[in-house]
Structure 1
Amino acid sequence: MTQSRPQTILFADVSGSTRLFETKGDVEARRLIALVLDALSLICQSHGGRVIKTIGDEIMCTIPTALSGLQAACEMQRKMARDIQFVRESLAVRIGLHHGEALDENGDVYGDAVNTAARMASLAKREQIVTTAVTLTNVEGKAPETRSLGKARVSGKLFPIEIVDVIWQEDTSGMTTVQSAVKLFDTHTEAGGTLRLRHKGRLVELNVNSQPFMMGREASNGLVIEADWVSRTHAQIEYKRGHFVIADRSTNATYVRIGEDDEQRVHRDELHLRKSGTISLGQASDVNANELIRFEVS
């Protein structure tokens, strides 16, 4: 039966899983990730929630109330920080959640709340919980302490929304208490508010309010590069956590040179773009000179 109701959508994924596969091998990495996802699933269920799906190193849950969702997220982070095996293997998760209307249909959930929660998860860093300020307004009872992270752009929404960092640590004596630990959308104070991309005479300008910018072989990308070594959706650039970040999603990796530094190979990972340099999709720049993308952050 199809039904729309208010609920908390929570996404959690294992931080640095690509590196885990490289260092531990496929079998051991899959075993460790499965242990983490099993632990998170049990916590979700203990708060009255339901696991919707697990995808690779990520879990998606629905939890009835805003308060129980926040409590579950905090318990998940504490589990990762206390479990001896997780600590020994340097395993950690990042969590994003949002409370709002979502459509239940055939065991899955859909709608704006799901999209917003997924965006919160993409903004979260290792050992961090990110949620929307509006989620806090739906809490009945004492909510965990939070810090403002400014505003974030969410696909489908006309204006950026207020987001917060949820403080899950029980001992916060060693933490900074400065509000807005990360300012995402303060263009008056944030350095690096514009990113310019140049490719074969074309200029693209991105700012802190821009939607994620896709590059690849497919015609739907913001920048299309038609080459056999370029994936259909090869890489994405977006502004998050106070910086422009490039995320590789390709088969053949993305090569980035910042200033005069050595070129870096980015594969299924992210890199903070700073100053100026070049981006090469699928091949190192020395063999891909005709398709170089030049960038400049100002």
Structure 2
Amino acid sequence: MPDKVKRRLTTVLCADVHGYSRLMEADEAGTLETLRRYRTAIARLVERHDGRIVNTWGDAVIAEFASVVEAVQCAVEIQQEISNQDSGPPPPMRFRIGINLGDVMVDGSDLYGDGVNIAARLQELAEPGGIVISSSAYDQVHNKLSVGFDCLGQRPMKNIAPVTSYRVTMSGQTAQARSFPPGERLTSQTASAGSQTDAAHRDRSESSNWMGFVSDGLAKLPRPIFTGMHKIWFHWPVAALLFGAIMRTALRDRPESGGKSER
């Protein structure tokens, strides 16, 4: 009987070098030396945030974290440290990072399944030096870290069903003042439309204030117990008030005459 597949919910970080083949073609020895130096820095930061390196092949790094917050914080520090180190004359080496919280299959020290594959696809969506996380990771960290998030919506992914993703905005990138749910965007056009709508509401509210005043007054008056022509004296003050308000409004709104009429 085959062994039962072990599964667990975990956070997977996937990183690789943008344009690695181009860098190797330009300078194999220098690129490999730089890659080794950055991998050492990545391993140190992963360990600092209680993660572990799962696998490395080519220019890729796969790491696992028990905490989503620690994984995203580690990714931010990785990008910051690489950016600070990369100041030499050769073409800069930039990593793209994807992070996903999901179910994985465990085989010894290796991880398999959609949980890993989604992290790899999110990494492909990231800009050089950037970080993209899944919505499952975003739900856990969006209010726990001092970074911003831009919703990217659902992007097509090779051999993977689309998932909603978010770009992490760090210092040096344009950060949103707040995070937006999928499909929502704050633009100057929507802001202008909102202002115009508010102004229209205010105008309508001001023009109908007197009507509301009269209606409230009428609603608070006691209803007559008796009916009939001999009780009409009870209603005349209300009718006079209403007639006066209507006449004032009509006279105020009537356009002024352009000149005197001729006889």
Normalised to the residue count of structure 1, the TM-score between the two structures is 0.53
Is residue 7 from structure 1 mapped to residue 10 from structure 2 by the alignment? Answer: yes
In the other structure, the counterpart of 1:35 is: 37
- Measured on the aligned residues, the alpha-carbon RMSD in Å equals 2.9
Normalised to the residue count of structure 2, the TM-score between the two structures is 0.60
Deviation at 1:179, TM superposition (A): 9.1
CA distance in 2, matches of 1:141, 1:31: 38
1:152 is aligned, of 141, 150, 155, to 155
Deviation at 1:165, TM superposition (A): 0.4
Q: Deviations over 1:211-239 (max 9, x none)?
A: xxxxxxxxxxxxxxxxxxxxxxxxxxxxx
CA distance in 1, matches of 2:175, 2:127: 16
Local SS of the residue matching 1:138: helix
Q: Is the 8 A contact 2:49 2:74 kept in 1?
A: yes
In the other structure, the counterpart of 2:80 is: 78
- Structure 2 spans left out of the alignment, 5+ residues: 184-263
In the other structure, the counterpart of 1:96 is: 98
In the other structure, the counterpart of 2:68 is: 66
1:105-184 correspondence runs (5 A): 105-139=107-141, 142-143=144-145, 144-154=147-157, 158=161, 160-169=162-171, 172=173, 175=174, 177=176
Specify which structure has the bigger relative contact order, considering alpha-carbon pairs within 8 angstroms and separated by 6 or more residues. Answer: 2
CA distance in 2, matches of 1:30, 1:79: 18
After superposition, the Cα gap between the structure-2 partners of 1:149 and 1:32, relative to the gap in structure 1 and judged at 3 Å, is same
Is residue 19 from structure 1 mapped to residue 45 from structure 2 by the alignment? Answer: no
Q: Is the 8 A contact 2:148 2:178 kept in 1?
A: no
Q: Deviations over 1:78-131 (max 9, x none)?
A: 111112xx2324221111110112122111011221011011011112011011
Number of aligned pairs?
177
CA distance in 2, matches of 1:58, 1:73: 14
Q: Is the 8 A contact 1:7 1:99 kept in 2?
A: yes
Identity %: 26
- Greater percentage in helix: 2
CA distance in 2, matches of 1:79, 1:93: 11
After superposition, the Cα gap between the structure-2 partners of 1:146 and 1:91, relative to the gap in structure 1 and judged at 3 Å, is same
CA distance in 1, matches of 2:98, 2:46: 14
CA distance in 2, matches of 1:28, 1:13: 17
Q: Is the 8 A contact 2:169 2:175 kept in 1?
A: no
CA distance in 1, matches of 2:83, 2:129: 9
- Greater percentage in strand: 1
Whichever residue aligns with residue 150 of structure 2, its letter is: R
CA distance in 1, matches of 2:157, 2:8: 21
Q: Is the 8 A contact 1:65 1:99 kept in 2?
A: no
CA distance in 2, matches of 1:124, 1:106: 29
Whichever residue aligns with residue 135 of structure 1, its letter is: A
Larger radius of gyration: 2
